[in-house]
Structure 1
Amino acid sequence: MATDFPGVGQAELQARGAEWTAREIAQQPSVWPQVDRLVSEQRTQLDRFLQPLLTKSSLRVVMSGAGTSSFIGDCLVPALSVRLQRRVESIATTDLVSGPHLRLQGDAPTLLVSFARSGNSPESVAAVDLAERVVSDVHHLIITCNAEGELAKRAPRLRSAQLIVLPEATNDRSFAMTSSFTSMLLTAALAFGVMRSETVSSVANAAAKVLQQASPVAQRLVAREFQRVVYLGSNELRGLASEAALKLLELTDGKVVALADSTLGFRHGPKTVIDEKTLVVVMVSNDAYTRAYDLDLLTELRRDKRAGAILALSARNEGLPEGDNVVYDGLREHGDFETAFAHILVAQSFALLQSLALGLTPDRPNAAGVVNRVVQGVIIHPWSE
């Protein structure tokens, strides 16, 4: 697969330690149909596992992961709650492990959905072990990119578990999770019926144009050397804003401060972060009601003239005030969950370009080794009920 990235040639990417990050961002529209085929092939097996559980009105569905993987659940919960009409929560493995007595209920039938790129993070493994100990009626859906990871190996030994191992290409070799994030998000959406198979091709086709479309805007904004970037989104896009902010923090080695909030929540204090060195990115909803709040804030921010720049990401032109806008082709009739796949491509590419502009090596931006591809330094302490 060619590793050229819009505006940056393959030779430069290799020389500057960005080859894998660029490749894994650019490959996503071509990887998603592979994920769709994988889930379709396992459909009978998945339904046999999920359908008996989903008939239980008291079922508790917990989406869990660490870091980027935890934001998959945040993106899924709003749409999945409506779809299942069940109790659906997103709880990071880091929270489950630090307080199992606060977050696991022994008498509640529970489906723990674990997301993990490597499957080797100590908290991911410990969360599954604790759920096995604490919850009398627990079931596991494990979605991972690594067939050799500890979670994948443990799945056959669990009381009730279904394992989905994604295509090898999704097991990102770069430090930052990019295609692993969107591929696991898509897998869960397809598994639970939040997204239909026939929608994947239209989303992938639209997303394939996004990098070319957004790159000139991203290059221009990177050149302005912002010190702070704020990502805002509502509902499904609130969790995506958190992932976008984390990607920028990771790929810039913390040299650019990145924050995330909801569109309405931003006014309640966090808005004070804005100054002339701040870029604000608003992921605008396609839902007419939610969109009205996003547009109100966009208009307000541009009227205030305090931010260095304001970028609107949207699948529709309607109502967007004049300014820096990236409007996607082919997604205007889709819901916010589907447009999320385009939004995150813009955020990932901006983070990569910003990393390069700072003279870092995006495949391994933290040369000091303070953070690593698989988290290190975590001690799992014994827990007693």
Structure 2
Amino acid sequence: MSERTLATNGPVLIIGTGLLGTSIALALRSGGVEVYLRDASPTAGRLAQDLGAGTLIAQDDPCSPRLVIVSTPPDVADVCVVDALLRYPQAVVTDVASVKSAVCDGVFDEAKRRGADIPSRYVGSHPMAGRERSGAGAADADLFYGRPWVIVPNRYSTPDAVMEIRSLAVDLGAFPIEMDARTHDQSVALISHVPQLVSSMLAARLVDAPLSALSLSGQGLRDTTRIAASDPRLWTAILAGNAGPVVEVLREIRGDLDDLIEHFDAAAQRGPLEGGSVGAVHRVMDLGNRGVARIPGKHGGAPTRYAVLDVFVPDTAGSLGRLFTELGEIGVNIEDLSLEHSAGAQMGVARISLDPSILASTVKQLEERGWNTGSGD
């Protein structure tokens, strides 16, 4: 993120220096905002400070932030929010936990327990950005660029407090979307939390898989298991905090699985074309096609169909960079890109998504420049 003037005024205190907290801090620092960091783990806090995310302070160090961002796991976020509201009476406080109902309810319960009437300065939020790697070492100032940032005011949140969090989201390159807590939790259960579980369950089948099977692995397996490398401790807290909406989606998936198992059992006993197995598989695949077609396209726009061009790239230094350079010279805008590798092959395949209207001319010009697109006679 290039340095520019931000609407967010410092000092900003960030509690929790994991992936999200440190990424927010780096983005704010790049805009010249004064940032303080606090973390229950001194080692994590020092790493974030060494990365240039801000100045590490202890629990009792004096600090007068205008904005406090709680970036802790959801199971402790409510207590941290109320602590911040009590300790910094002039500050707006937000959390960036990926569940909202449990945290928002917890803030109200904790405030009531401590005799504090303070939720008007609290606005929940959740940037829809992340990686399978966690911790400050994976942080990136551009992590939120072009991503949704959900803002979840409570019934007492002041307009000024809500505007403060909207400004934060815009400053970090995200686009703010306002939702109530329940709608948010139902949405993330469907598009984030259950996909994480499904990916992990699929990858778990590989633990005892024979090497002969794993040696055949291709990009499809890598794509579907990539997020299975996520932090188990963090995701345990997230999923437990959103158990209700998650289990609703899991029950729907279980219905599909039970239907498939029933028909595959019948096919295994009576023959591959018996027992209705063909129809059951087709139903699931067809619904999957229709679901994928509804996923928004680039920048959150309408779904767009692109042509996919495969280009064979030698596994040598500079080859991929040369391909990008020559695509730029041809005038091709790469809409999306994936790289595939086969075991034992000394080359990879760059799968480039591009405007269908320029596919034929791009193939012709690349092959004239010596690239193999696999489309020759």
Give the TM-score, by structure 1 length: 0.29
Larger Rg: 2
Q: Which structure would you say has the larger RCO, counting Cα contacts within 8 Å and 6 or more residues apart?
A: 1
Give the TM-score, by structure 2 length: 0.29
